[in-house]
Amino acid sequence: MTSEEIKSAIWQMGAQARAASYALGKLSSEQKNAILLAMADALVARESEILEANAEDLAAAEAAGLTGAMIDRLRLTPARIAAMAQGIREVAALHDPVGEVLREWTRPNGLHIVKRRVPIGVIGIIFESRPNVTADAAVLCFKTGNATILRGGREAIHSNVAIARALQEGGTPAGLPPHSIQLIPFTDRESVRHMAEMDRYLDLIIPRGGAGLIETVVSLARMPVIKHYDGICHTYVDRAADQEMAIAIALNAKAQKPGVCNAMETLLIHRDIAAEFAPKIAAAMEEKGVELRGDPDFIRLSRSNRVVSATEQDWITEYLDLILTVGIVDDLDAAIDHINRHGSHHSDCIVTADTAAAERFLDEIDSAAVFWNASTRFSDGGEFGFGAEIGISTDKLHARGPMGLEELTSYKYRILGNGQVRG
Amino acid sequence: MTSEEIKSAIWQMGAQARAASYALGKLSSEQKNAILLAMADALVARESEILEANAEDLAAAEAAGLTGAMIDRLRLTPARIAAMAQGIREVAALHDPVGEVLREWTRPNGLHIVKRRVPIGVIGIIFESRPNVTADAAVLCFKTGNATILRGGREAIHSNVAIARALQEGGTPAGLPPHSIQLIPFTDRESVRHMAEMDRYLDLIIPRGGAGLIETVVSLARMPVIKHYDGICHTYVDRAADQEMAIAIALNAKAQKPGVCNAMETLLIHRDIAAEFAPKIAAAMEEKGVELRGDPDFIRLSRSNRVVSATEQDWITEYLDLILTVGIVDDLDAAIDHINRHGSHHSDCIVTADTAAAERFLDEIDSAAVFWNASTRFSDGGEFGFGAEIGISTDKLHARGPMGLEELTSYKYRILGNGQVRG
């Protein structure tokens, strides 16, 4: 296909998605849930077809010399397909926020105004190698009445096509409107540009992937983008902390699952307790295999000869690994200032028994989720009770922090009158 | 100043605004209101200084040969300054949404989660010739705890500088944090680019002006932009309409104030009543001096020889003038389809006594505000009871339709625990 033909095909998908979004808006929750269950069944029924497509991607990945970790992210198994299907069934069981009345009131002139939740419309999802995103993202958008245009990475193209086809063809007999879920079959960079320029048809783009992908989308997009940037999360151990609790929380935040965005990357310790706390936390972290990088005070107080000196870069790095930067701060103000300057405004925690200190931390830390005496690992749609999560937004507009179904909706004002005109 | 020096000055304003936003976040509603009243007093006290600056702009505008309408938009008078001050006092009297609890709940593990309204942070406002936007926009952002960076048009630069100085210097003795309200003193196009790239410091840009300005900001901006595009608003007169009511609503929507975004631009009439309704509405509109452009059916049925033939372009034009396009549609479906395709998703109305038809219209029209038996002219923050309005968003993310103070806030999750760690 020529470059013009690719552009034309993508714009046609946009127009089709817009039409689909209007059809989706008319479905009841019951109809949508029946379609979701049919999609889940179709994924399982087409297991062998999906695995065959996946084998093509795996063979290409091996031929291209991808790393073991990358190949593992690409790999589908019967268990992983079953998990995708189960995930869809769980989404079907969730409450549908569409149609909820957010507020309603009557004006002195008798106009009755109802602010009601509606679908956003058409959502573009641009993602990288994991093929399960095809199902996860499309299904959350569908549950909330949105049409999706998906554009996955080159490595998973055969798997993505097979999964998208299973969802579409599986949902159709149950009433899925045509073009509700479309996968762009092109994996060149130009197709991202076409999506980003198609603000006539796409109401929102959500990039799911690394900083490079997000940067590209942000620089090109004419429509709103919800970004899921890094989590450079902090735990601040206050002078008034229960030190055993602080050790438990810090160990959990760092080591329970280090490769995720809500894991801690930096620990700050109040100077007044540092002489006592530093050696305890150093020993506990090192026992868990955590490499420590400290400021000069922590290196001196830790009584460990394995702590290396933290560079400027360490304080702004998301390691996603068993590495932790540790600093000693003079007071609460210094902790707040450090976190607001060096953090990524994702999730940060104070451990303290001092209510006034906690209140100030919760008020003044400019992050999506601020924790008092609990691990930052709870910054998660599932742990918040949202039932499902499309990501954790590091934006402040529309959606901040864990994004569930509600964040995939917009609203509309319905104004009911009996002939009112403006004077 | 060199181009590099301008860039550096704007980025420094960004860093200062971020620091100011943290200071603003600590102010109570009472402190903010006292500062607002001091700002209002300062505008009045500095009337002569502001009028002198305005005279410079007016002289330059006349020398440059600007039109009378443009010069009028630029002109400040003692009455207009008093109105700006009064507007600030009214904002001071409004309820402050910051700090409101939007939702709170406890998880089975005991974590207590509070979703609470907070300021957005730093908001950039880029606007054109009206100098009163300096005060209006800065004050609404300040009321909600946001720092602002304002960049106005070249024509009003002296007026804008004088007004911004009055707000800053007037607010300072009452406790306004430094750099809370900053005006960029450069009016070259490069300064818009620098703002648009400064996503580290600006959380949001709101362009206030014509489509050209919005387009420029959208294409450059790396941060969220809330857009206030055209209003191509429709009134659909259903088969079951009270025709007297329909005439009153249509006249109001078109002619009461034609130059605004919530005025009607297109009227659609159900075919079943067209023979009776078309001549009545044509006569009523023409009596008000409205030029009518119709489809062939309306031209034939209107019994007026003054109706001209509507072009393709007419159906997608925001006239902002006493011009109206009129079409006959076969049924409700055709009306909905026409409006969703040709409209700007701003504000649209159905006039009908048929509840089922009204419900379908309200559900299926993809617009920010959908009216049943009331003029689209009510699509307005003041008319909605918001007390103040920064604009009418044509976006679907974060803010849709009339934007009041709530839409100038974000939220934050506060999670209170007693040592919880994730298993």
Cβ-based neighbours of B122, under 8 Å, separated by 6 or more: B14, B17, B18, B20, B21, B146, B147, B148, B149, B201, B202, B203, B204
Is it the case that residue A116 has pLDDT exceeding 80? Answer: yes
In whole angstroms, how far apart are CA B252 and each of B289, B318, B391? 13, 16, 21
Q: Do B26 and A120 touch (CB under 8 A)?
A: no
Take residue A139 and report the two structure tokens written for it: 């299904």
What confidence category does residue A387 fall into, taking pLDDT thresholds of 50, 70 and 90? confident
Output the pLDDT for position B403.
Answer: 95
Question: 């801690």: which residue's tokens?
Answer: A264
Contact predicate B198/B11, CB 8 Å = yes
% of chain A residues with pLDDT over 90: 91
* pLDDT of res. B189: 86
Q: Collapse the DSSP code of B393 into the 3-class scheme (helix H, G, I; strand E, B; otherwise coil) and give the result.
A: strand
Structure tokens of A367? 């992050």
The pLDDT assigned to B15 comes to 97
B 361-400: CB under 8 A from A: 362-364, 366-375, 377-379, 383-385, 395-398, 400
Closest CA to A282 of A310, A258, A303, A300: A303
Q: Please report which confidence band the pLDDT of residue B123 belongs to, taking 50, 70 and 90 as the band edges.
A: very high
Longest distance between any two alpha carbons in chain A, whole Å: 81
The answer to whether A219 contacts B222, with C-beta atoms less than 8 Å apart, is: yes
**Residue A218 corresponds to which amino acid?**
V
Average model confidence (pLDDT) for chain A? 96
Residues in CB range of A235: below 8 A, 6 or more apart: A246, A249, A250, A253, A264, A266, A267, A268, A348, A349, A350, A351, A376
What pLDDT was estimated at residue A421?
98
Does A147 lie at the interface with B, CB-CB under 8 angstroms? no
Distance from CA of B11 to the nearest CA of A (A): 16
Strands A401-403 and A391-393: antiparallel
Number of other residues whose CB lies within 10 A of the CB of residue B316: 16
Smallest CA–CA distance, residue B289 to chain A, in Å, is 19
Contact B273, B239 (CB under 8 A): yes
Average pLDDT of every residue of chain B = 96
pLDDT at A105: 98
Q: What does the pLDDT average to over A367-379?
A: 98
Q: Please answer whether residues B238 and B332 qualify as being in contact, where contact means their C-beta atoms are separated by less than 8 angstroms.
A: yes
CA A116 to chain centroid = 25
Determine contact, residues B105/B61, Cβ cutoff 8 Å.
no
Residue A2 CB: number of other CB atoms within 10 A? 7
Identify whether the C-beta of residue A131 lies closer than 8 Å to the C-beta of residue A163: yes
pLDDT of residue B388: 84
The string of DSSP codes covering B79-110 is: HHHHHHHHHHHHHHHSPP-TT-EEEEEE-TTS
Of A218, A219, A412, the CB nearest to B368: A412
- AA letter at B155: E
Phi-psi region of B121 (alpha: psi -120 to 50; beta: other; left: phi over 0): left
CB contact under 8 A, B375 and A401: no
Please name the helix (run of DSSP H) or strand (run of DSSP E) that holds residue B237, with its range, or none: strand B233-237
CA distance B263 to A316: 51
Q: What is the pLDDT of residue B3?
A: 87
Q: Residue A152: name the closest of A198, A193, A196, A186 by CA.
A: A186
Identify the burial level of B24 via C-beta atoms within 10 angstroms of its C-beta, where 0-12 means exposed, 13-18 middle and 19 or more buried.
buried
Which tokens belong to B314? Answer: 């007419």
- In single-letter form, the type of residue at position A390 comes to I
Q: Does residue A254 contact residue A285 with C-beta atoms inside 8 Å?
A: yes
Q: Whole-model pTM?
A: 0.94
Q: Which residues pair with B264 in a beta bridge?
A: B233
User: How much of chain B exceeds pLDDT 70, in percent?
Assistant: 100
**Residues A156, B304: Cα–Cα separation, whole Å:** 64
Beta bridge pairs of residue A104: A114
Q: Is A9 exposed, middle or buried (0-12, 13-18, 19+ CB in 10 A)?
A: middle
At residue A50, the pLDDT reads 97
What's the average model confidence in pLDDT over B182-204?
93
Burial class (CB in 10 A: 0-12, 13-18, 19+), A305: exposed
Helices (H), B343-422: 355-364, 381-384
pLDDT tens figures, A389-417: 898 999 999 999 999 999 999 999 999 99
Compute the average pLDDT of residues A82-87. 95
Q: Tell me: the pLDDT tens digits for A219-262? A: 999 999 999 888 999 999 999 999 999 999 999 999 999 999 99
Interface of A with B in 307-366 (CB under 8 A): 340, 362-364, 366
Measured CA to CA, the distance from residue B345 to residue B321 in angstroms comes to 19
User: Which residue shows structure tokens 């031929």?
Assistant: A63
Structure tokens at B409: 């806030």
Q: Chain B within 8 Å of A252 (Cβ-Cβ)?
A: yes
Average pLDDT over residues B327-343: 97
Question: Residue B225 carries which DSSP code?
Answer: B
Among B366, B412, B419, beta carbon nearest to A400:
B412
What does the alpha-carbon distance between residue A184 and residue A171 come to, in Å, rounded to a whole number? 18
Q: Which of B244, B256, B378, B380 to mutate to test the interface with A (most CBs of A within 10 A)?
A: B378
| Range with top average pLDDT, A142-151, A209-218, B203-212 | A142-151
Compute the CA torsion angle A309, A312, A315, A317 (nearest 10 deg). Answer: -100
Read out DSSP for A222-272?
Answer: SS-B-------EEEEE-TT--HHHHHHHHHHHHHSSTTSTTSEEEEEEEHH
pLDDT-based confidence at residue B210 (cuts at 50, 70, 90)? confident
pLDDT at B129 over 80: no
Q: Which of residues 64-123 of B touch A (CB under 8 A)?
A: 105, 107, 111, 113, 120-121
Say if residues B375 and A422 touch (Cβ distance below 8 Å).
yes
Chain A residues with CB under 8 Å of B224 CB are 224-225, 395, 397-398
Residue range B304-330: mean pLDDT, rounded: 97
Confidence at residue A372, expressed as pLDDT on a 0 to 100 scale: 98
| Model pLDDT, residue A112 | 98
Measuring CA to CA, which residue among A302, A239, A267, A237 is closest to residue B419? A237
Mutation target to probe the B interface, by most B beta carbons within 10 A, among A332, A366, A377, A380 is A366
pLDDT (mean) for B352-380: 98
Q: What's the pLDDT score for residue A197? A: 94
Q: Two tokens at B246?
A: 């329909």
Report the pLDDT value the prediction gives residue B133, as an integer from 0 to 100: 86
Q: B421 and A252 in contact (C-beta within 8 Å)?
A: yes
Taking contacts as CB-CB distances below 8 angstroms, the residues of chain A near B383 are: 107, 111, 422
Cα(A22)–Cα(B363) distance, integer angstroms: 10
Q: Which helix (H) or strand (E) holds B328?
A: strand B323-329
Whole-angstrom distance, CA of residue B130 vs CA of residue A328: 51
Question: Residue B288's pLDDT is what?
Answer: 97
Residue A207 pLDDT more than 80? yes
Give the model's pLDDT for residue B68. 87
Q: Does the ipTM surpass 0.85? A: yes
**Domains delineated in chain B:** 3-227+403-415 (3.40.605.10), 233-383 (3.40.309.10)
Q: Please, are residues B204 and B77 in contact by the beta-carbon 8 Å criterion? A: no
Express each pLDDT in B268-297 by its tens digit.
999 999 999 999 999 999 999 999 999 999
Tokens 């078109």 correspond to: B254
Q: What is the pLDDT of residue A68?
A: 87
Residue B211 confidence class, pLDDT cut points 50, 70, 90 = confident
Q: Pseudo-torsion of CA A180, A190, A260, B21, nearest 10°?
A: -100
Place B16 in a pLDDT band, splitting at 50, 70 and 90.
Answer: very high
What average pLDDT does the segment B343-363 reach?
Answer: 97
pLDDT at B52: 98
- A410 closest CB neighbour out of B22, B375, B397: B397
Mean pLDDT (whole number) for A77-95: 96
